Structures are given as C-alpha cells and as structure tokens.
Amino acid sequence: MIKYSVDKDISKAKTILKDVYTSNYLFELLKQKIFENSWHFIGQENLVKNIGSCLPFTLLEGYLDEPLLLTKNNKGKLNCLSNVCTHRGNLVVAESCNLHQLKCGYHGRCFDLDGKFKGMPEFKEVKNFPTKKDNLTQLPIYNWKNLLFTNLNNKYGANLFFKDMVARINWLPIDEFIFSKEKSKEYFVDANWALYVENYLEGFHVPFVHEGLNAEIDFTNYTTELFYPFSSLQIGVGRTNQNCFEIPKNSEDYGKNISAYYFWVFPNLMFNFYPWGLSINIVKPISVNKTQISYLTYIWKNELLNVGAGGDLDKVELEDEVIVKSVQKGIRSKFYKHGRYSVTREKGTHHFHRLLSKFINSK
C-alpha cells in the first residue's frame, strides 16, 4: 500500500494524497484504523435518568453500525454495553425502557445491568461455562459535565482527545445546557467526510464564502491553536463586544471579545460554543462521497439565539456544503494531485492531514 506522508514543516508540506477522498478502499480502511479507535459522542447523561433505565443506540449508524446500550444499574452507575447477546447475536434491548435485568428475547439469556452474565435455560450440560466471554462487553464512558462519550477499543485515553477543551472552557456551566430537538438538524452533503472536516478546520475561507459570518467576526484576529495529539481550537473574535462571552477573570481569554469557540476533536467531532450555548456537530461518513452532519443544539441562554457568530448556522452550513461539494468534484481531475498550505491560515488542516497519514500508515 502507498505510504502516506505530510511534512511536519507546514511551509514545505504538500496536502495529503487526493485518494483519501475518492478511494472506497481507504474509506473502509479508515473505519477500522481511525473510527474504531476514537471517542464518540453519546448524548447527555439524562438519557438514562432513573435506576434501571436502558437506552439502545447505534454508534455512527451507516458506518460503524455498532449496536450499543446505555444503562443505569441499581447503584446509579452508568454503563455502556454491547447490545448483542453473547449466545447467538440477537439484539438484547430493542427500545428505550426500564428493567431490573437484561433478558434476550431469543433464548432467554439474562445479564445484569452492567452486562454480567446471570443465567440461561437449558445450559446445565455445557462444559466450561460461563466464562467472561459470556458477559456483554463493557465499554468505557467519559463524562464531561453530563456529556457522555465512549470508545470501542479504548486504545487511546479520553484525556488525549478532550483535556485541552475541558481546561479552556470549563468555566461554562455546560451541565445546565438543555438539548433542543426542535433546533437540532441533520444535513447530507455529497462529499467525503474528510473534505468536510478540513473545511471546518480553517477560517481562511470565511471572507470568501461566509459574508454574514465575516460581518460578525474580526478576521484579522481569527486564530487557530493546535492541541496535540488529537484536537484544535479556532477562536472567532467579535468586531465589537456585542454578542460575545462574558469571560471570567480566571480564564486566559479574559478581556477578549470572543464570539465563538470552535473546538475540533479528532476525527469527526466539532464543539461550537456561542454565548447562547453549544452546537455539537457530528460528521458521519456514509459513503466515499456522501456525508451526514448532525447539528445537536444545547441551549444555555435562549434570548441570545439568532444573533452574533452563532446566529444563522443554517446559512453557514449551506454555504460550506456548496464549497465542499465543488471540491469533491474538482479533486477527481487528472490535473490535481497536491495543494500547499497557508502557514498562517491552514494550520488546522495540516494537523488533520498529518493525523490521517499517521493512522493510515499504522499497523
């Protein structure tokens, strides 16, 4: 297989090979190499409010398609489990419910709410049974102010992905933000997921693509900070102090007119903090040239909605879609192989491309 490489010196580097966006082989390979080893957003802790609450969900439906189950046991402990029975592979829980134990509807195999095997009819004669493999696999949970995340393989700890965002924005009462189903949206883009991500990771295009957003932020003071290994931050500074955060003195950003924090967590999570609250954007690969983007809206101050940098997200999204769809068509040209990076404006994209190369080359 081709070895992928992006020079660590951005002033010398060329962009990643274009087949990352066009190869069906790489599309499937990245499922295993990247997405199975990354942290994924589940939702807020109140999805399972009570003792015995059980919530089945599918992790990255349409791509990973992993059936999982969120439970709260009789001690109030949250668990994230495989939702696949260890007997014959049936889904254990089909819909949100409240249970004392988990019981497979196929042959009656039972588990407690943390996934431990409890019993099963007609298995007395089976030798060397049960073993740990008869338990439902338990996945790790990372809980940040009631926002829940999980990881299929737990190869990389959550701190490698989230610690810098947590440290920077921990003064916000995120656990008070309320999910709005009405304000949340789904978009489908005819472009590769990585093209969508790299567009997000640079503000270089803002003056050319987003007239309305450009009127709200001071592009000359738009900055990108890289957090190694797996995250970055873009800061949108307001032209005035209107529609900006009231930042406390204990923050390193105190005194700045910040209208938006745009955090990216590798590979596909975007946390957009505005004075009104939070938009979590989840980029979901569907096919090599089709992507679903979920905008999950969490409201803090309802009266600040529809103003400032976070005022018309739908318009900004649609403008971005036009661009990435155009790029998806253009990169197929036989005349295009590599591009170069703006040293000052495309640090985030360069960082992303180096991570892609690292994971593609990994064994």
Whether residue 5 lies inside any domain: the answer is: no
pLDDT tens-place values along the chain, 363 residues long = 678 999 999 999 999 999 999 999 999 999 999 999 999 999 999 999 999 999 999 999 999 999 999 999 999 999 999 999 999 999 999 999 999 999 999 999 999 999 999 999 999 999 999 999 999 999 999 999 999 999 999 999 999 999 999 999 999 999 999 999 999 999 999 999 999 999 999 988 887 888 888 778 777 888 999 999 999 999 999 888 888 999 999 999 999 999 999 999 999 999 999 999 999 999 999 999 999 999 999 999 999 998 887 888 888 888 989 999 999 999 999 999 899 999 999 999 999 999 999 999 998
| Whole-angstrom distance, CA of residue 229 vs CA of residue 164 | 10
Q: What residues contact 151, with CB distance under 8 A and at least 6 apart?
A: 37, 38, 39, 40, 139, 140, 142, 158
Pick the closest to residue 140 from 52, 50, 39 (CA basis). Answer: 39
Residues 123 and 216 in one domain: no
Report yes or no on 44 lying in a domain: yes
The enclosing domain of 65 has a CATH number of: 2.102.10.10
Tell me the three state secondary structure of residue 150: strand
223 with 87, same domain: the answer is no
Domain match, 181 and 258 both = yes
- CA distances 236 to 65, 224, 227, Å, are 35, 9, 17
pTM confidence score: 0.95
State whether 240 and 114 are in the same domain. Answer: no
Instruction: Give the span between the Cα atoms of 123 and 101, in whole angstroms.
Output: 19
| Residues 195, 340 within the same domain | yes
Total domains, the chain: 2
Q: CA 222, CA 294: separation in Å to the nearest integer?
A: 25
Q: How far apart are CA 211 and CA 312, in angstroms?
A: 12
16 domain-assigned: no
Q: Determine, yes or no, domain membership for 356.
A: yes
Q: How far apart are CA 201 and CA 143, in angstroms?
A: 25
The verdict on 56 and 193 lying in the same domain is no
- CA dist list (Å): 165 to 81, 159, 170, 225, 230: 27, 10, 8, 11, 11
Closest C-alpha among 72, 47, 263 to residue 146: 47
Handedness of CA 324, 326, 328, 333 (dihedral sign): negative
Residues 247 and 132 both lie in one domain:
no
Q: Are residues 112 and 210 in the same domain?
A: no
Q: Name the amino acid, one letter, at 98.
A: N
Domain that holds residue 111: 39-151
Decide if 19 is inside a domain. no
Judge whether 12 lies within some domain. Answer: no
